[in-house]
Amino acid sequence: MKKLNLLTGCFLLLTLLGCQQAPEQPNVIFILADDLGWKDLACFGSDYYETPNFDALAASGIKFTNAYSASPLCSPTRASILTGLEPGRLRFTTPSGHSVRVVLDPQESNRSAPHYKAGTPATRTRLPNEYLTFAEVLKEQGYATAFMGKWHLGREPYIPENQGFDVVVGGREHS
């Protein structure tokens, strides 16, 4: 009788556990702003600017308080954030997404003058579509993704839609 009660209890417990709803996925909003100082928002200590909408988002979400940009330049920073790789590993070290010249596999250094001892490392001008981005990872987990604003990582075919974003608003004038 004890075994029957134990089996019945286990069966009911497993049935109840199986009927639970899957936990709801949290919403993710990631904001990257060019030329935003570390204390320009009120939620980070500014008493000059009033930023009530950012303050509300920060109060109910997560604030990055111990982070730094991978690069002081726009294109390498965006590529680094999207892929999780350092700009040097990506070989994407200059703001070159707007460049007409497409370079995906830079090989040599650029010497600007014969008397310079060191050259500037050759750099990509686009983020190749082969790199896995956080948008693609989020899509695999059932998220809908959107990109709004300045892309600066290349024109067709190196566009946000080919890097995991479902919806794209703006950004074409700064490809």
| 29 within a domain of the structure (yes/no) | no
pTM (predicted TM-score): 0.74
- Does the pLDDT value for residue 38 go beyond 70? yes
pLDDT for res 13? 47
**Domain closes at, from 49, 68, 87:** 68
* Residue 11, in any domain of the structure: no
Asked if pLDDT for residue 89 goes beyond 60, the answer is yes
Per-residue pLDDT tens digits for 120-164: 677 888 999 999 999 999 999 999 999 999 898 988 899 999 999
Q: Do 93 and 161 fall within a single domain?
A: yes
Structure tokens at 61: 């979400």
What average pLDDT is seen over the chain? 81
- Do 63 and 80 lie in a common domain? no
- Same domain? For 91 and 51 the reply is no
Could you tell me the residue range of the domain that residue 78 belongs to? 70-175
Mean pLDDT within 31-46: 87
Separation CA 172–CA 169 (nearest Å): 9
Check residues 12 and 113 and name the one with the higher pLDDT: 113
Instruction: Name, of 95-99, 130-134, 169-173, the range with top average pLDDT.
Output: 130-134
**pLDDT above 90 as % of the chain:** 39
Residue 10, pLDDT > 50, answer no
**Whether pLDDT at 12 is above 70:** no
User: Does some domain include residue 25?
Assistant: no
Nearest to 86 by CA among 51, 121, 111: 121
Tell me the sheet residues that pair with 146. 167
Task: Count how many domains the chain has.
Answer: 2
Length of the chain: 175
Residues 48 and 82 in one domain: no
Instruction: Report residue 118's pLDDT band, with 50, 70 and 90 as the boundaries.
Output: low
Q: Does the pLDDT of residue 1 top 50, yes or no?
A: yes
Per-residue tokens: 91: 């070989």
Would 18 be classed as within a structural domain?
A: no
Task: Answer yes or no: do 48 and 117 share one domain.
Answer: no
Q: Is residue 138 one of the residues assigned to a domain?
A: yes
pLDDT digits (tens, 9 = 90+) for 47-74: 999 999 999 999 998 888 887 788 888 8
Is 15 within a domain? no
82 pLDDT exceeds 90? yes
Q: Answer yes or no: do 97 and 43 share one domain.
A: no
Q: Give one word for 155, left, alpha or beta, with left for phi > 0 and alpha for psi -120 to 50.
A: beta
Residues 106 and 44 in one domain: no
Q: How far apart are CA 150 and CA 137, in angstroms?
A: 21
Let me know whether 173 and 140 are in one domain.
Answer: yes
List, by residue number, the catalytic residues.
74, 152
> How do strand 146-148 and strand 167-169 relate by DSSP bridges?
parallel
